[in-house]
Amino acid sequence: MKELISLFENIFGDACGTKIFFSPGRVNLIGEHVDYNGGYVFPCALSLGSYGVARKRSDDALNFYSENLKSFKRCSVNDLKYEKDHDFANYLKGVIFELKKSGFKIGGMDILLYGNLPNAAGLSSSASIELLTSIICRDLFSCDIDMLDLVKLSQKAENEFVGVNCGIMDQFAVGMGKKDNAMLLDCTNIKCQYIPIILNGYSLMITNTNKKRELSDSKYNERRSECEEALKCLNKKLNIKNLAQITPEEFEEYKYLINDPTVLKRATHVIYEIERTILAAQKLKNNDIEAFGKLMIDSHNSLRDLYEVTGIELDTLVKEALKIHGVLGSRMTGAGFGGCTISIVKDESIDEFKSEIEKNYADKIGYPPSFYKASIGDGAKKLNAEKDQ
């Protein structure tokens, strides 16, 4: 915290009136690309994330500084619009825009951001920044709004202001995380069951491809559009609001309605991934981590073959991980096209896991991956009281 305050003073001259906040990243254990189809996901918040040092201003200026990007962006709280060259600042602006639209009085602020999430790794740095902004505004301007509504508002900011048609999972996991627990989240009704993570001599290992994730907005929205097309086809005979409302048995009966083979593959992944996620959470709840690991592998294979969002980097990490004795399961996590894998690794196998994968991945891809032992933390929160004037 002293380092963050010192950084703020270097940028803004003094740190009077500042408060410090933290918002985690997230990793999804299983249930990928189903949140926007109303299905079940199984994420957890990480101890890594985004820190914010913030204070109110007496005018309407918004000053945002990213220590990671060494980038300073300025605008007015009365002139909030998406600007491509404002990159990270658009996420903050989007949340402030939505809060104002909801009737909250938000004034000027100075905000310094620092994150220790790996860059562009698919661990929800955007949702982390959105919820960070949400809790900063709620605290500084005494907004009467609960965390779940901040989660929904942050998702709306990304959908409508930034223009990425994401589901609810990322913002929910970041805002509602609970230490040492994963969340079985029903994305249709936003109901969540917390399930303790008890791995009994195993650890969750995140491996970063170190490839900048290439999932453009158009690719993400393309997958979502394909799912909407599948729903439209199925509704020639059914009456469902999303793909999560059809069972695998019903899908097998009615999938003939989907003529496009690509659309059929997308729907098949979604239907069976939802079933895998419910089963996987139950297996973990019953401490059957071997069965959980097998379902992780099935999930990755489906994302590779049916949803087609993996790529050589993620596939190589999973393939090499599964060669290591003591690895129960491994899969891509996040949106795909780069980013990270999540693996369940026996504690005494972690050194071998890192050394073997690093060597074999670098030999094939041309550069090494990075490794993080996942520590599961709480959701977005304020860290300290106001600094004395």
In sequence order, what DSSP letters do the residues of 210-233 get, joined into one string? -SPP---HHHHHHHHHHHHHHHHH
Determine the pLDDT at residue 388.
42
The answer to whether 79 is a known catalytic residue is no
Write down the pLDDT at residue 218: 64
- The 10s digit of each residue's pLDDT in 272-301 is 999 999 999 999 999 999 999 999 999 999
Q: What is the pLDDT of residue 389?
A: 37
Q: Whole-angstrom Cα distance, residue 219 to residue 215?
A: 6
Portions of the chain given CATH number 3.30.70.890 = 202-373
Give long-range contacts, CB 8 A cutoff, 24+ apart: 262-265. Answer: 262/226, 263/226, 263/229, 263/230, 263/233, 264/230, 265/305, 265/306, 265/307, 265/308
pLDDT of residue 122: 77
Written as six digits, the tokens of 303 are 């994302």
Instruction: Report pLDDT for 219.
Output: 80
Q: How many CB atoms lie within 10 A of CB 248?
A: 12
pLDDT for 86 equals: 94
Fold category of 2-196+377-382 in CATH: Ribosomal Protein S5; domain 2 (3.30.230)
Q: Which residues of the chain have pLDDT under 70?
A: 212-218, 385-389
158 vs 351: CA distance, rounded Å = 38
Residue-level pLDDT at 118 = 81
Q: Which CATH architecture has domain 202-373?
A: 2-Layer Sandwich (3.30)
Enter the DSSP assignment of 382.
E
Helices (H), the chain: 2-12, 89-101, 125-140, 147-156, 169-176, 217-234, 248-254, 261-285, 289-305, 312-321, 350-365
> What is the gyration radius of the CA atoms in the chain, in angstroms?
21
Residues of the chain with CATH 3.30.230.10: 2-196+377-382
Q: Provide the pLDDT for residue 342.
A: 97
Q: To the nearest whole number, what is the mean pLDDT of the chain?
A: 94
**Residue of 14, 60, 144, 170 marked active site:** 170
Determine the pLDDT at residue 124: 86
* C-beta separation of 327 from 204 below 8 A: no
